């Protein structure tokens, strides 16, 4: 425990202010000036470490970031009370700890910032009744939209089209627009140019941040008995856990990776785990860095050197943060809690056990899963078109898929995980987020990666020995869900292709798919 008593002679504070593990925003107005009557509280709690089985690196990163944030606050003169996971007085939940802390320090009021997860929001709404003193809520001053703004923007509309929201955000925040609010470069979207594979003989140049040693935290987590997944190398931990490190990562991204970000955004390779992606998601989601400062820095790179950082690289990146990230948050707060129950395709199958080991002969899945277990990270297309694609084609229950994504990734917090997983990837929301399910056969994976050349299965075979499971499962998906997919204008063409195949071909493909599904554990 980092002792607050040592810094306050009276051992009493008028206000206790709770800072959650994903609210590490040094620029929040709470910290503008030092106030002797305020005690800031951070706590490592089993209720947050155990609501899903997290990747070990995610728990380490959160604890490391929280501890360093507490130290930074103290260095600025604030009073801080920090509960570590194994402290004897730690009561394991936010509410129970706050009860003890408020009594101990004779607090007259509690403050918290709007949490990002529905589960925690519900818990904190009960605080006043539980603790018996007034509770005040503050914004987290991180996002570019309020919780309700999204609902207001789409009020009366039949669909939640991301592109409309994104253009609105570009204008609202004056990002990549001219004085007439028209898009710089004449187009809002450069996606067409961002679908390249890694060229042959291309040498990937990126920079890893200097590693740090997290052995102490790893030992404490082991002692606590928290169950985790994945691997950690305690002497070489690369995730950014302070604002300074996040700013360095941003600069390195801008100078080294941004010039190729858009072009190779959808590419996948066995030889590199993040390619030209920024790995800023953890720092963004725990609020070490703000979305607007990242966007403005990237936009500046374009205006300073448009030949190096071309518009398709910049726009592709900005759309992810200004568009998708805010959009997903809007969907979350407009649709929860019903969203977490949606299962449009009524899928039932459990996740194969090799999702937890990477032990499969399907090379793209082996690579994407193993990499996720090794680094707590996979980039967007690996998540969407490899693991997510397979889960949807195999008819895995969305609860199982959510649990996996929420646990395994360093950046996984429900507001952005469930909307991407249940929504974009599994289409379990029936089309709230996406206009069509993201499914593909092996052809797409072969086109965008080098995975297929070293695979046990043949990407160009639909049936027979060693035919790639993605192929028969893809057509099986259209066959199984034809009723539900027929009315979707974006899928009509594929349904026609399926219907035009001969009966014999269709039967052979469906048999292959059903045999693969029966032996899913050994694929």
Nearest Cα neighbor of 109 from 133, 137, 130 is 133
For ligand FAD, the closer CB: 101 or 416? 416
- String marking each residue 401-420 x if it binds ligand FAD according to CB under 6 A: ----x---x-xx---xx--x
* 407 lines the binding site for ligand DLZ (CB under 6 A): no
Buried/exposed code over 268-298 (b: 16+ C-beta within 10 A; e: otherwise): bbeeebbbbbbbbbbbbbbbbbbbeebbebb
Strand partners, 113: 138
- Which residue's CB comes closest to ligand DLZ? 21
Phi-psi label, residue 436: left if phi above 0, alpha if psi -120 to 50, beta otherwise:
beta
For ligand DLZ, the closer CB: 286 or 314? 286
Kindly state the smallest distance separating residue 323's Cβ from ligand DLZ, in Å. Answer: 21
* 59 lines the binding site for ligand DLZ (CB under 6 A): yes
Kindly state the smallest distance separating residue 225's Cβ from ligand DLZ, in Å. Answer: 14
* The dihedral sign for the CA sequence 147, 148, 153, 154: positive
Q: Which of 388, 407, 437, 469 binds ligand FAD (CB under 6 A)?
A: 388
DSSP state of 153: H
Q: Which of 118, 324, 345, 498 binds ligand FAD (CB under 6 A)?
A: 324
Kindly state the smallest distance separating residue 242's Cβ from ligand DLZ, in Å. Answer: 17
Kindly state the smallest distance separating residue 106's Cβ from ligand FAD, in Å. Answer: 39
Which partner, ligand DLZ, ligand FAD, none, binds residue 176 by CB below 5 to 8 Å per kind? none
For ligand DLZ, the closer CB: 115 or 398? 115
For ligand FAD, the closer CB: 277 or 397? 277
* 441 lines the binding site for ligand FAD (CB under 6 A): no
Tell me whether residue 116 is exposed, middle or buried, using C-beta atoms within 10 angstroms of its C-beta: 0 to 12, 13 to 18, 19 or more.
buried
* 369 lines the binding site for ligand DLZ (CB under 6 A): no
Kindly state the smallest distance separating residue 405's Cβ from ligand DLZ, in Å. Answer: 14
- String marking each residue 24-53 x if it binds ligand DLZ according to CB under 6 A: -------------------xxx--xx----
Which partner, ligand DLZ, ligand FAD, none, binds residue 279 by CB below 5 to 8 Å per kind? ligand FAD
For ligand DLZ, the closer CB: 120 or 442? 120
* 321 lines the binding site for ligand FAD (CB under 6 A): yes
What are the residue ranges of helices labelled H in 280-411? 281-285, 291-304, 311-318, 326-335, 363-375, 380-381, 389-393, 398-408
The angle, 0 to 180 degrees and rounded to 10, between the axes of the packed helices 469-480 and 503-518 is 110
Tell me whether residue 227 is exposed, middle or buried, using C-beta atoms within 10 angstroms of its C-beta: 0 to 12, 13 to 18, 19 or more.
exposed
* 494 lines the binding site for ligand DLZ (CB under 6 A): no
- For the beta sheet containing 135-138, the strands, ordered from the edge strand earlier in sequence to the opposite edge, are 79-83, 38-43, 15-18, 109-113, 135-138
* 220 lines the binding site for ligand DLZ (CB under 6 A): no
* 116 lines the binding site for ligand DLZ (CB under 6 A): yes
- String marking each residue 20-39 x if it binds ligand FAD according to CB under 6 A: --------------------
Q: Which of 284, 295, 365, 467 binds ligand FAD (CB under 6 A)?
A: 284
Per 3-state DSSP, the chain is made up of helix, strand and coil in percentages (nearest 5) of 50, 5, 45
Contacts 24+ apart (CB under 8 A), 183-186: 184/311, 185/311, 185/315
In degrees, rounded to 5, the angle at the alpha carbon of residue 407 between the alpha carbons of residues 402 and 412 is 80
- For residue 337, is the peptide bond before it cis, meaning its omega torsion is within 30 degrees of 0? yes
Kindly state the smallest distance separating residue 372's Cβ from ligand DLZ, in Å. Answer: 17
For ligand DLZ, the closer CB: 363 or 420? 420
Which spans of this chain sit near ligand FAD (rule: CB under 6 A)? 274, 277-281, 284-285, 320-321, 324-325, 328, 379-380, 383-384, 388, 405, 409, 411-412, 416-417, 420-421, 424-425
Chain positions contacting ligand DLZ, by CB under 6 A? 20-22, 43-45, 48-49, 54, 59, 62, 115-117, 120, 413
């Amino acid at each position: 425990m980092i002792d607050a008593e040592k810094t306050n002679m009276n051992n009493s504070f008028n206000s206790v202010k709770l800072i959650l593990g994903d609210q590490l925003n040094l620029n929040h107005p709470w910290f503008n000036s030092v106030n002797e009557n305020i005690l800031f509280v951070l706590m490592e709690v089993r209720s947050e470490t155990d609501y899903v089985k997290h990747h070990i690196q995610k728990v380490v990163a959160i604890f490391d970031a929280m501890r360093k944030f507490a130290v930074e606050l103290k260095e600025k003169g604030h009073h801080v009370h920090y509960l570590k996971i194994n402290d004897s007085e730690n009561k394991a939940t936010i509410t129970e700890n706050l009860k003890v802390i408020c009594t101990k320090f004779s607090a007259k009021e509690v403050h918290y910032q709007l949490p990002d997860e529905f589960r925690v929001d519900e818990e904190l709404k009960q605080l006043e009744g539980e603790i018996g003193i007034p509770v005040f809520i503050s914004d987290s001053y991180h996002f570019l939209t309020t919780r309700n703004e999204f609902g207001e923007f789409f009020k009366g509309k039949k669909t939640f089209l991301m592109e409309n929201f994104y253009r609105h955000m570009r204008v609202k925040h004056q990002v990549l627009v001219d004085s007439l609010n028209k898009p710089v470069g004449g187009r809002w979207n450069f996606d067409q140019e961002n679908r390249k594979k890694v060229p042959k003989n291309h040498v990937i140049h990126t920079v890893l941040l200097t590693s740090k040693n997290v052995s102490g935290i790893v030992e404490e987590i082991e002692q606590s008995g928290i169950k985790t997944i994945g691997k950690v190398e305690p002497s070489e931990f690369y995730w950014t856990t302070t604002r300074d490190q996040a700013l360095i990562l941003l600069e390195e991204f801008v100078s080294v990776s941004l010039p190729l970000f858009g072009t190779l955004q959808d590419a996948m390779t066995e030889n590199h785990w993040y390619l030209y992606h920024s790995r800023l998601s953890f720092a963004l989601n725990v609020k070490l860095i703000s979305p607007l400062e990242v966007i403005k820095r990237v936009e500046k790179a374009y205006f300073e050197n448009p030949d190096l950082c071309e518009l398709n690289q910049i726009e592709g990146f900005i759309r992810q943060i200004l568009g998708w990230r805010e959009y997903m948050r809007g969907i979350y707060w407009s649709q929860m809690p019903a969203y977490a129950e949606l299962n449009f395709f009524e899928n039932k199958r459990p996740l194969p056990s090799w999702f937890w080991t990477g032990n499969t002969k399907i090379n793209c899945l082996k690579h994407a899963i193993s990499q996720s277990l090794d680094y707590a990270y996979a980039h967007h297309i690996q998540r969407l078109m490899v693991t997510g694609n397979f889960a949807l084609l195999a008819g895995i229950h969305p609860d199982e898929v959510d649990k996996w994504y929420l646990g395994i990734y360093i950046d996984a917090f429900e507001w952005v995980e469930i909307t991407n997983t249940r929504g974009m990837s599994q289409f379990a929301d029936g089309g709230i987020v996406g206009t069509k399910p993201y499914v593909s056969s092996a052809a797409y994976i072969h086109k965008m990666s080098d995975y297929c050349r070293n695979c046990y299965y043949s990407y160009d075979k639909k049936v027979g020995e060693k035919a790639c499971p993605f192929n028969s499962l893809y057509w099986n998906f259209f066959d199984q869900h034809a009723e539900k997919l027929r009315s979707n204008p974006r899928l009509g063409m594929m349904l026609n292709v399926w219907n035009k195949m001969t009966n014999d071909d269709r039967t052979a493909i469906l048999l292959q798919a059903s045999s693969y599904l029966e032996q899913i554990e050994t694929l």
